[in-house]
Amino acid sequence: MTAKRGQELLDALVAERDKCVAHHRAMLDMDVGDVALSSQSNVLSMTLLSHQIEILRDGGVADLPALLTLDGEDTGAVLRLGRFGLFWVLPDGRRQNDNVTDKTLARKGWVRGTVSKPAWAKITGPRNARGSSGLLSLRVQRYPSGTNYWTGEDAPERGAV
């Protein structure tokens, strides 16, 4: 079976989101205590599908947070949510806390910015998330993808022309 790409994937995601919306509307008529977790899970699924649909409608790319050099070049660092907040993971494995001033970043030769690159969305959260509190701590995150899901092409390697 071939993986869906482009318009075929977009149509499938829109249909799936419409089913989630209909399911959510049906749950509104039920007792809140019976459907609280199911409702939260359904909202999370709708949010994920909405992000994926938006990325596809933008041609498979999204503006993602980036750590840039002072010259404006992408360092390839990825923003992660850790136990103590956001931090950047650089390609060489070093980590940089994001909870610093722009002046501190500039001293190190970096600046915060955004870059447009192939992206996708996923549900993410703490590794130790369990039970209902774990469900409530989950969120949808956009991340750089090795594949452009609109065109089906592999993303260019960092530094490639």
State the number of CA atoms in the 13 A half-sphere of 37 facing the CB.
Answer: 7
Predicted local confidence at residue 160, as pLDDT = 43
Per-residue pLDDT at 42 exceeds 70: yes
* pLDDT one-digit tens code per residue, 94-136: 999 998 999 999 999 999 999 999 999 999 887 777 777 777 7
Average pLDDT over residues 63-78: 93
Per-residue pLDDT at 159 exceeds 50: no
Average pLDDT over residues 62-69: 94
With beta carbons less than 8 A apart as the criterion, state whether 112 and 75 touch.
no
Q: Where are the domains positioned within the chain? A: 6-144
41 — pLDDT class (breaks 50, 70, 90): confident
Sequence-separated (6 or more) residues with CB below 8 Å from residue 113: 65, 66, 67, 68, 72
What's this model's pTM, rounded to 2 decimal places? 0.77
Task: Write out the two tokens for 9.
Answer: 């994937």
Nearest to 65 by CA among 82, 50, 46, 80: 80
Cα–Cα distance measured from residue 140 to residue 157, given in angstroms and rounded to the nearest whole number: 25
Predicted local confidence at residue 3, as pLDDT = 77
